[in-house]
Amino acid sequence: MKDNKLGLWLLVALVVGNMVGSGIFMLPNTLAKVANPAGVITAWALTGAGVLMIALVFGNLSIRKPDLSGGPQLYATALFRKGSRASHMSGYFVSWGYWVANISGNVAIVTTFASYLSTFFPIMMNQAELFTVLGFTLKLGNLITFIICSAFLWVNHAIILRGIEGAGKLNLIATAAKVLGFALFIIIALTAFQSSNIMPLMQEKLNTAGEPVSYLQQISMAAMATMWAFLGVESAVVFSKRARKKSYVQIATILGLGIALLLYMSISILAMGVMTQEQLMNSHKPLVDALSIVIGPSGSYLMAGLGLISLIGTTIGWILLSAEVPYQAAKQGLFLPIFQVENRHGAPAKALTITNFMTQILIFSTVSSSIADAFELVTTIAILAVLVPYTIAALYQLKLVWLGETYEGQKTQRIIDGTIASLATIYSLWVIRSGMTDWFTFVAGVGMVLFGIVFYPLVKKNK
């Protein structure tokens, strides 16, 4: 496409590719740690319904407010009086929070890629100690993982710098491959599904202190994990300025969510049926281990290869998303001016470089902890940070409904959209509340967002 515009299926691929990535490969392990099968299934259902409300909000706003294209930060500015300080600050902080969330997401995806690559190169899990400095011990596997994660990040950086459209096509190919591959996993796993692994649904769950965890608490904790799976549902909205038609944004958002939800629920339930809860809790590559149980070692290599293809596409899409938001925000006067610099291919070069530099810093977490620990930390931070723009978008939809703006003579639709926006707001606030159970991670997430105040004077000066 010489016009460098994104068609419907490229937008759908960005939505599906950004959602169906590291989560689908790592979540069976994370969910098994916090909830029994009933809690996991309930969390998926609630999260799917909640994210559907958010997707409907984004889709509706893209149609009713086509002039506010380029990211959720514009909904934040429109929430307050035009030209006011509150409008400008809210737009900046939503942009900053969204950027921080995406950087954390980059780390989770890159480290998951390394986890699945270790199937072919077991030395990446080697625990041999190299040296100890000030109480810190560097292990061989951690060092190799760090080097591979870093190399993978900057290779993707180089690909994207050659143009958005070319990177989008590569993402489309990877997304198509992984959807077909997951369909194959579903078919194979169905033949080995054992109800005894998943029953009873209401198994007792104990916390680290050996105390029983209530069913509602399990759902709450699992909801935080399942929410990670759907980050990226707004991808089409973020790239709306690059969409060939504005109507494609809403279609791609809803269609992409439907495909992702079907895949997530099917694979999560099947993984619980192929492996016991104990096996899932101890597995750092649950889908690889599941296929290994069904068809032997060849199954683990097949799934690991599929995972690598999937994560290549997801990484490209997520890094694109990470750079696009601050790039568009900078062009709108809502972010640091340096982020709006393009290269000759139309790629946001400065935004990409700064974003990936920050990602590189966080990748250092793989040097001192396991991949699973790093994954759980950064995904929780990402969820808490990205729920801010989700909530803002829902509140802006409520404002339109309350004032009747764009709803002349549409009383019924006004009521429907108001209900959807209310449910989206309630859901977002509930997940944020669920994240408060781990105060260290909650404070880390909030702190990273609030740190943005340090740079606001530079944005204000160049407003």
Kindly tell me if the per-residue pLDDT of 423 is higher than 90. Answer: yes
Give the residue-averaged pLDDT of 121-150. 81
Kindly tell me if the per-residue pLDDT of 149 is higher than 80. Answer: yes
- Per-residue pLDDT reduced to its tens digit, 262-283: 888 888 888 888 888 788 887 7
What is the value of pTM for the model shown? 0.74
What token pair was written down for 115? 């986890």
The rounded mean pLDDT for the chain is 79
Whether 55 contacts 253, CB under 8 Å: yes
pLDDT computed for residue 70 by the predictor: 62
Q: What is the DSSP letter of 270?
A: H
* Residue 461: band (very low, low, confident or very high) from pLDDT cuts 50, 70, 90: low
What percent of the chain lies above the pLDDT cut of 70?
Answer: 84
pLDDT computed for residue 23 by the predictor: 63
- Per-residue pLDDT reduced to its tens digit, 227-243: 877 777 777 776 676 77
Whether 218 contacts 36, CB under 8 Å: yes
pLDDT computed for residue 398 by the predictor: 92
Euclidean distance between CA atoms 258 and 253, whole angstroms: 9
pLDDT computed for residue 418 by the predictor: 92
Q: State the helix-helix crossing angle for 247-274 and 22-34, rounded to 10 degrees.
A: 50
Give the residue-averaged pLDDT of 371-390. 68
Give the residue-averaged pLDDT of 284-308. 76
What percent of the chain lies above the pLDDT cut of 90?
Answer: 6
SS3 203: coil
What's the first-to-final CA gap in the chain, in angstroms?
A: 34
Give the residue-averaged pLDDT of 288-317. 76
Kindly tell me if the per-residue pLDDT of 129 is higher than 90. Answer: no
pLDDT computed for residue 426 by the predictor: 92
pLDDT computed for residue 2 by the predictor: 46
Cis peptide before 200 (omega within 30 of 0): yes
Euclidean distance between CA atoms 316 and 152, whole angstroms: 10
Cβ-proximal residues to 324 (8 Å cutoff; 6+ apart), any chain: 71, 238, 239, 348, 351
The correct answer on CATH 1.20.1740.10 for the domain covering 8-461 is yes
In the block, tokens 């998951």 appear at: 112
Ranges 67-76, 263-272, 368-377, 453-462: which has the least confidence: 368-377
Kindly tell me if the per-residue pLDDT of 105 is higher than 80. Answer: no
Q: Go through the chain and tell me how many residues it has.
A: 463
Euclidean distance between CA atoms 369 and 115, whole angstroms: 13
Whether 395 contacts 76, CB under 8 Å: no
Euclidean distance between CA atoms 72 and 463, whole angstroms: 18
Whether 33 contacts 271, CB under 8 Å: no
pLDDT computed for residue 209 by the predictor: 65
Which sequence spans correspond to the domains of the chain?
Answer: 8-461
Of residues 83 and 375, more confidently modeled: 83
Determine how many CB atoms are found less than 10 A away from the CB of residue 394: 27
Euclidean distance between CA atoms 461 and 456, whole angstroms: 9
The letter for the amino acid at 106 is N
Euclidean distance between CA atoms 448 and 29, whole angstroms: 27
Give the residue-averaged pLDDT of 410-426. 91
Euclidean distance between CA atoms 145 and 168, whole angstroms: 27
pLDDT computed for residue 200 by the predictor: 76
Determine how many CB atoms are found less than 10 A away from the CB of residue 410: 12
Of residues 120 and 247, more confidently modeled: 120
Of residues 28 and 178, more confidently modeled: 28
Euclidean distance between CA atoms 52 and 123, whole angstroms: 42
Kindly tell me if the per-residue pLDDT of 448 is higher than 90. Answer: no
pLDDT computed for residue 248 by the predictor: 79
Give the residue-averaged pLDDT of 146-166. 82
pLDDT computed for residue 1 by the predictor: 38
Euclidean distance between CA atoms 394 and 449, whole angstroms: 20
pLDDT computed for residue 197 by the predictor: 78
How far are the Cα atoms of 207, 236, 320, 333 from residue 14, in angstroms, in the given order?
37, 7, 9, 26
Give the residue-averaged pLDDT of 32-42. 85
Euclidean distance between CA atoms 28 and 25, whole angstroms: 7
HSE on the CB side for 151, CA within 13 Å?
7
